[in-house]
Structure 1
Amino acid sequence: MSVLPITTARSTQSAIRYNSIQGLRAVAAILVTLYHITENISRTYHQTFLFDWFTLGYAGVDLFFVISGFIIAHTSVAYIDQPQQLKPYLEKRFYRVYPVYWLLTAPLMLVVWSFQHLSHSLITIPYPFTWSEVLKTLVLFPQHYALNAVTWTLSHEIYFYLLFALLLISRRMAWVLGLVGIATLVNGIYIYWYDGDSGTGLLRFFLLSPINLEFAFGVFVYYLHRHFRINQSGLLILVGVLAGLYLAPRTGGDFTRAVTLGLPAMLIVWGAVEADRAHLYRVPSLLIHLGDASYMIYLLHFPLIIFANKLLTLNGWGSVWMLGMADVVLMVLIFWLSWYLHQQIEQPLIRWSKKK
């Protein structure tokens, strides 16, 4: 495997269609969905589903984070040191995250509130419906009380967007990001060795959480992709997959996760974008469509799986395999619904935001 420097990177980047990134988004969404199906059955029945093949499906989150780092660098690096681009940058990020999130969270709040009052068997952990908690949930405040268990990741996404925005204000702000990165690494090593690698403090376990390094891994992939050409992208992907499977932690917190899953995800994303540059393969259109709808899939799947399983259980679906098969059918329906809502709601919102 050889690595060659690229001297005309700016001209070569614009012509590349990163279909592999959309494909990886789809893979990440599928993995996370299968993980939550497996985890919910294990928690409810204390039994395995599909031989626990997908207990590592949560690694899809780490893949999402690395992809996000690459995409933000790829789409916004040209605006560095251009403070006039800060407003449109923030608007695009806002419209990409919040309208769809609110659209799906509002009815979820109503359902949870209703069932908390009507049926305690469906809502085992009540949501504290206070104005402060609802506001934190709606704005995705760090460590908010999540109605939808996956939304903690969106808080980290927004934090990364805001950190990157500093570079748009001034290139000189890179030293701030460098200090944050060093502090994050030091904090991760410290809490791993001395403090149990878990907690709720805003500074140590969010602002300096080691899992934020995965976004930096994605930015680093963009740098490597922009300045070097590698002729064995398939090998990179294979090494990343095998390393993730071998190193994936069964225990440990964010620092362990960033090292054992974030770094393999970095290799996978690097290999994928290099494969796109070399036009090595054609990504199936189904994966591209699912990748386009991955945000919808991500927000929809968890509450629908939880509620569907509870309803099925209350109606006598006691077999793990029956429930598992029902969940697989539900997963396919969620994917279809996500694609439909992506076309009918998310895409029009994105197009509208670009015209502003």
Structure 2
Amino acid sequence: MNKKLNLLQVYRGVAAVLVVLTHGNIILSREMHQGDLLQIFHFGWIGVDFFFVLSGFIIFYIHQSDIGKANKFKSFIFKRFIRVYPLYWSILSIKILASLFNTNKDNIYQRSADEIIKAVLLLPQNHSILESSFIGVSWTLSYEVFFYCIFALLILKNTRISQSIIFAWIIGIFLNLLNLLPIDESFLLRFIFNERNLEFVLGCLAAYTISKYQFKFATSLIYASLFLLVVSVINTKYKEFDVSGIPPSLAYGIPFTLLIIGSVYLELSKTVNIPQILIYIGNASYSIYLTHGFFLGNISKVFTKFTDKVNILYLFPNPNIYYNVNAFLIVILAVVMGCVIHSYLEKPLITNLRKKVFTQIS
């Protein structure tokens, strides 16, 4: 990528914060039993849809010239591995250590070796197992890793056979989207042909469009995508994960694709001044994404104990006001702690690993 696309980094940060807000609504409602202001962000799970589309875009945009070049395979694999696994394993290790003090029935030590291995390697696994005993959002990383493997196949061998496999995969996704693929009884097939995988394909399509065509109306495309996103949000009901029956891979995947195309065209055509703090949050988005559940849960427990001990509620005419203020403070603290993890763990970890690994393979 010749020019750093800061707008996409800002969007990455916004997507991460949206996920924090929607999980904040779920976790804080459970831990604090009050406060409803975060329900406004019940649609925040769409941040995952953006991450998938963006991943498809980034991988294709950066590595399209590597397709069919087997000598680039090792470098691609190492780059993707370093980007995903070291931080994930670090956070997972902390979660495992923390579980030593957890007497919950879903403690990690009650899990089978098969379930633990799948969690460590980010192999497909039931969401409920990951949420209760490991890192809840890691199910999305399984899709990321799967997409990297698909793209790695194109880099290793861009033959008719590999192209046919990928084409059949995309057709299978569409058939499954239309409920025309009889795979309900197979967890693995439902994972392989899950509609979310379509968002990676849409991201690749966005990158291909930008690399092949010119578009002068970038701002109009951004406005159109934002309009479509607002329409989808308005039609997303509380506690539902579709848009009035329309799959999120279409209702959100398509607008996010248009948003990325328009934003990249805009930044390639002129300089867009963006506050550094927004870019920083975007850079820290992976750390925020991986750690926010841990921080939301534990910080809320501290706030609850403080409230019970000090009996501060009598100062507020409406307890909901207190709980809503607390909720936003906890969300902010979770984001800040994610940024701390990024600065003092993720950045040094990845920088050092890149130096060591690429010195060896170059």
Bucket of the pairwise TM-score, normalised by the shorter protein: 0.7 to 0.9
> Which residue does the alignment assign to 1:139?
121
- The structural deviation recorded for 1:242 is 2.2
Q: Structure 2 vs 1, CA of residues 107 and 339 (structure 1 numbering), >3 Å: closer, same or farther?
A: closer
1:91 partner letter: F
Q: What SS does the corresponding residue of 2:307 show, helix, strand or coil?
A: coil
| Structure 1 residues 46 and 270: CA distance shift in structure 2, 3 A | farther
**8 Å contact 2:12–2:51 — kept in the other structure?**
yes
Residue correspondence of structure 1 range 22-37 to structure 2 within 5 A: 22-37=9-24
Match of 2:223 among 222, 225, 238: 238
Q: What aligned pairs does 1:1-356 form with structure 2 within 5 A after superposition?
A: 15-44=2-31, 48-50=35-37, 52-116=39-103, 123=104, 125-127=106-108, 128-143=110-125, 145-146=129-130, 147-172=134-159, 173-190=162-179, 201-248=186-233, 249-250=236-237, 251-252=240-241, 256-316=247-307, 319-340=322-343, 341-356=345-360
Structure 1 residue runs without a partner (length 5+): 1-13, 117-122
- Stretches of 4+ aligned residues off by more than 4 angstroms: 43-48, 252-255
Quote how far apart the aligned CAs of 1:320 are. 2.0
For 1:191 and 1:290, locate their aligned partners in 2 and report how far apart those are by CA, in whole Å: 41
CA shift for structure 1 position 350 = 3.5
Once the two structures are TM-superposed, the CA of residue 275 in structure 1 deviates from its matched residue by 1.2
Shift, 1:175, TM fit? 1.8
- Aligned partner of 1:263: which letter? I
Question: 2: distance between equivalents of 1:337 and 1:316?
Answer: 26
Cα distance in structure 1, aligned partners of 2:23 and 2:241:
19
What is the percentage of aligned positions where both structures have the same residue?
28
SS state at 1:81 partner: coil
CA contact (8 A) 1:93 1:161 kept: yes
| Cα pair 1:301 1:331 within 8 Å, conserved | yes
**Range with greater deviation from structure 2 (269-278 or 235-244):** 235-244
Compute the displacement of 1:101 (Å).
Answer: 0.7
Distance 1:86 1:272, change over 3 A: same
> How far apart are the structure 1 equivalents of 2:297 and 2:65?
42
How far 1:284 sits from its partner (Å)? Answer: 2.1
* SS in structure 2 at match of 1:171: coil
Shift of 1:90: 1.1
8 A Cα contact 1:188 1:255, kept in partner: no
Residues 51 and 114 of structure 1: is their aligned pair in 2 closer, same or farther, counting only changes over 3 Å?
A: closer
Contact 2:199 2:253 in 1 (8 A): yes
1:274-314 CA distance string (max 9 Å, x none): 11111252222212222222111111111111122133324
* Distance across 2 between alignment mates of 1:38 and 1:124: 24
Equivalence for 2:316: none
> Distance in 2 between the 1:68 and 1:302 partners?
22
Number of residue-to-residue matches in the alignment: 333
Q: Map Cα deviations across residues 27-76 of structure 1 (whole Å, 9 max, x no partner).
A: 11111112211232344556554363211111111111111001110121
What is the CA–CA distance in structure 2 between the aligned matches of 1:182 and 1:15, rounded to whole Å?
33
Q: d(CA) in 2 for partners of 1:224 and 1:38? A: 37
CA RMSD of the aligned region, Å?
A: 2.5
TM-score by length of 1: 0.85
Give the counterpart letter for 1:78 in structure 2: S
Distance 1:183 1:158 in 2: 19
Q: What's the CA shift for 1:23?
A: 1.6
Residues 175 and 132 of structure 1, relative CA distance in 2, 3 Å threshold: same
Aligned AA (1:209): N
Q: Does the CA-based 8 Å contact 1:67-1:269 persist in structure 2?
A: yes
Deviation at 1:191, TM superposition (A): 6.7
Contact 2:32/2:300, CA 8 A, preserved across alignment: no
Code of the residue aligned with 1:269 in structure 2: it is I
Q: Which amino acid aligns with 2:115?
A: E
Counterpart CA distance in 2 for 1:15 and 1:88 is: 18
Task: State the alpha-carbon separation in 2 of the partners of residues 208 and 48 from structure 1.
Answer: 38
Distance of 1:220 and 1:345 partners within structure 2: 32
State the secondary structure of the residue aligned to 1:235.
Answer: helix
Cα distance in structure 2, aligned partners of 1:133 and 1:352: 31
By how many angstroms is 1:200 displaced? 7.6
User: TM-score when scaled to structure 2?
Assistant: 0.84
Mark the CA change 1:261 to 1:351 in structure 2 (over 3 Å): closer, same or farther: farther
- CA distance in 2 between counterparts of 1:200 and 1:156 reads 19
Deviation by residue 1:94-139 (Cα, 9 ceiling, x = unmatched): 11111111111011012123212xxxxxx47444333222111111
The residue type paired with residue 286 of structure 2 is: Y
Bigger mean CA deviation after superposition, 42-51 or 226-235: 42-51
Residues 1:212 and 1:332: Cα distance change in structure 2 (over 3 Å): closer
